[in-house]
Amino acid sequence: MKIKMYQKNEFDRIRNSSLSSADKWKLYSFMCRYNTIVSVKKAGSGHLGSSFSAMDIVVYLYLFKLNITKDNLKDENRNIYFSSKGHDVPGLYSVLYSLGILSLKEVLGLRKLEGLDGHPDINTPGIESNTGSLGMGISKARGMAKAKRLKKNGGKVFVLTGDGELQEGQIYESLQTTAHQKINEITAIADFNKYQTDRSVASITDLRDVTSKIESFGWHVINCNGHDFNSLDHAFTEAAKIDNKPVFIVADTIKGYGVSFMEPNDADTDNYKWHSGAPDDVSFESAIHELEEKVNYLATSYGIDSPQLSEVGLIDKSISGVSKEFVAQAYGEELCALAETRQDIVVLDGDLAADCKVRDFETRFPDRFIENGIAEQDMVSMAGGLALMGLLPVVNSFASFLSSRANEQIYNNACEHTKIIYANHFAGLIPAGPGKSHQSLRDISVIGAISNVVIMQPCNAMEAKQFTRYCVNETMNTCVLRLNIGPSPRIIELPESYKITRGKGIVLREGYDATIISYGPVLLHESLLASEYLSEHGIGLEVINMPWLNYIDAGWINELVSRHKKIYILDDHMQFGGLGHSLLATLAKNDLLKDISVTNLSIDTLPACGTPGEVLAYHKLSGAYLAKRIWPAFEHSSLLEQEVAYSADAPQ
């Protein structure tokens, strides 16, 4: 499918025209929305809802307040803008493109290896801060403003938050410290679009009267219409006059604003569809048509030539997973099955119920489902209280948030020797489109030193169901279930008679020259690919599925090293704290280090952003790369290409 965009010269024309400010901004915003949806469609994923709700605020700031150009991006006296939530970055990229700060190639490379990250990253020109993990923005803005003061530099700091984001506790820490420390150079703006990932903010955790709430923390609060440029201008003009308090502008916005069917209607209270994800072809065509019409209508009504669209390339053919299996789906189904008889199961969620596959549980067992909003610490400690009273809480969120944001709370609960199941969704490197705030490569390490925790990662639906049962019925330990979020690149086959056994792995494919140990559908698939490639060259690479990530049976490993002296460990995790470390420790403990070689093939840098194939190749963890690392003589035509066409949609 051919795609068109508004190129920079058309934005220059509008900016330099004699139109009134508000007219310029309005037209400019719709042109940016057009470009945003094209980039998200080309990426195959991204966040349109908040890109569109925040767009007018962003356009207003860049065109009127910031004076940011390609040449002053590092000027110490510059005004600074960044989004704390970061979801809205596709919209911001379009604005940065319109100003010549990003190139067309970059914007069309959204969520690609050589392109732009799915959440803001400091390496991108014009991006001031890494965000995407929620609630950090005002704290960071305060650091920036304080630094400007200490360095005697000019410039203000503008930081955008979401409204769902106001459920994060760090927001309130930062509100009170900022007021107390009198760092009044900050203007925070809430993109108050009333919908968070799953559904309306009011239904997840109502924020109540935000104005009086934020005022009670010592801020000056201004309300405005975030899609009315005169209202925005009025608000920011008032804000500029306040010098005795930091200012919080609550901008009333509409999620998905500008594309009629992306704006919420009453039926969306329980299921708003456009928080993330690329539109299908029909929706895409309909959306760009509507946006183009709006742009043309506005131009005509302002008496100027309609901005011209230019062809900029093609939408890549959509590539879908080679399997339809989602391990998390199997987990969710088994949880429902178990809950029929286990009345003590209570499921907690942090505004990711759909992604975490606990929607069915919510529907079937509403009394035992707790939607806790974007407040991971609170959710985990609430689970602690439930467990103390004899219930079995199952806590769901993305691994990078749950294990890290609520780390001290998880430890605190474990100190009470209760049993809690933590379902760490979106574990591992893939999908890699959302970028390093979402890819979870530290979650084993941050939990593994809790003495009574068992960490598991299933490789297919059958194993996911077995582990769910194991967690519920068979262990007294704190459980961490590490779950991939995307579709499995292939269905990893296990014998029908297979039964998980604590601390023991299972051979998936035989081989007599070396063995590779991995876990989860993504990297077991790559391991199997490597073994398949190598077998064509007469090299036998045994592939082992080892789903127990911090507990290794001594007898099992003893038997393994009697069979193989050359062991590779492929962690879907940073090397530090991964299975490799635990395996080495077990070998040392059992005096099995002699005469073996152990090679760790995991990740030791920050994870790259891109498509699955790109990123696996980048980290030299794709099947072909693994084959080459194990047997350097290996050559494969696709070594540097995307080997396996599986996509994984990028949530949140």
Closer to a second copy by Cβ: residue 27 or 579: 579
Token pair, residue 6, equals: 């508004």
Residues 598-637 that bind a second copy (CB under 8 A): 598-600, 604-606
The verdict on 441 binding a second copy (CB under 8 A) reads yes
Element (H, E) at 515: strand 514-518
List, in order, residues 6 or more apart from 21 with CB less than 8 Å away.
Answer: 63, 64, 229, 233
Task: Provide, rounded to whole angstroms, the least separation between the CB of residue 117 and a second copy.
Answer: 10
Q: Which of 395, 393, 390 is nearest to 407 (CA)?
A: 395
The verdict on 558 binding a second copy (CB under 8 A) reads no
**Residue among 243, 266, 311, 595 that touches a second copy (CB under 8 A):** 595
Handedness of CA 142, 144, 146, 152 (dihedral sign): negative
The contact mask relative to a second copy for 516-545 (x = CB under 8 A, - = no) is ------------------------------
CB under 8 A: which stretch of 128-136, 501-509, 512-520, 525-533 binds a second copy? 128-136
CB under 8 A: which stretch of 100-108, 169-177, 320-328, 514-522 binds a second copy? 169-177
**Number of neighbouring beta carbons within 10 Å of residue 280:** 11
List, in order, residues 6 or more apart from 65 with CB less than 8 Å away.
Answer: 79, 81, 158, 236
Closer to a second copy by Cβ: residue 153 or 320: 153
**Residue among 176, 225, 231, 283 that touches a second copy (CB under 8 A):** 176
- 487: cis peptide before it, omega within 30°? no
CB under 8 A: which stretch of 37-45, 163-171, 253-261, 636-644 binds a second copy? 163-171
The verdict on 368 binding a second copy (CB under 8 A) reads yes
3-state DSSP call for residue 514? strand
- Angle 636-105-91 (CA atoms, 0-180°, nearest 5)? 120
**Residue among 20, 77, 114, 122 that touches a second copy (CB under 8 A):** 122
The verdict on 78 binding a second copy (CB under 8 A) reads no
Closer to a second copy by Cβ: residue 172 or 631: 172
CB under 8 A: which stretch of 279-287, 486-494, 537-545, 580-588 binds a second copy? 580-588
* SS3 sequence of 40-90: HHHHCCCCCHHHHHHHHHHHHHHHHHHCCCCCCCCCCCCCEEEECCCCCHH
The verdict on 445 binding a second copy (CB under 8 A) reads yes
**Residue among 30, 60, 217, 426 that touches a second copy (CB under 8 A):** 217
Residues 380-439 that bind a second copy (CB under 8 A): 380-391, 393, 400-401, 404-405, 407-409, 411-412, 415-417, 436-437
The verdict on 121 binding a second copy (CB under 8 A) reads yes
Residues 22-41 that bind a second copy (CB under 8 A): none
Token pair, residue 387, equals: 């467990």
Token pair, residue 225, equals: 């219409």
d(CA 185, CA 145): 6
The verdict on 42 binding a second copy (CB under 8 A) reads no
The verdict on 70 binding a second copy (CB under 8 A) reads no
Task: Provide, rounded to whole angstroms, the least separation between the CB of residue 186 and a second copy.
Answer: 10
The verdict on 267 binding a second copy (CB under 8 A) reads no
The verdict on 451 binding a second copy (CB under 8 A) reads yes
Closer to a second copy by Cβ: residue 55 or 68: 68
The verdict on 357 binding a second copy (CB under 8 A) reads no
CB under 8 A: which stretch of 199-207, 305-313, 323-331, 503-511 binds a second copy? 199-207
The verdict on 136 binding a second copy (CB under 8 A) reads yes
* SS3 sequence of 18-50: CCCHHHHHHHHHHHHHHHHHHHHHHHCCCCCHH
C-beta of residue 96 within 8 angstroms of C-beta of residue 102? yes
The verdict on 152 binding a second copy (CB under 8 A) reads no
The verdict on 244 binding a second copy (CB under 8 A) reads no
The verdict on 113 binding a second copy (CB under 8 A) reads no
Burial state string for 71-106 with b = 16 or more CB within 10 A and e = fewer than 16: eeeeeeebbbbbbbbbbbbbbbbbbbbbbebbebeb
C-beta of residue 106 within 8 angstroms of C-beta of residue 146? no
The verdict on 550 binding a second copy (CB under 8 A) reads yes
Task: Provide, rounded to whole angstroms, the least separation between the CB of residue 358 and a second copy.
Answer: 17
The verdict on 316 binding a second copy (CB under 8 A) reads no
DSSP 266: G
Start-to-end CA distance of the chain, whole Å, equals 26
* SS3 sequence of 94-128: HHHHHCCCCCHHHHCCECCCCCECCCCCCCCCCCC
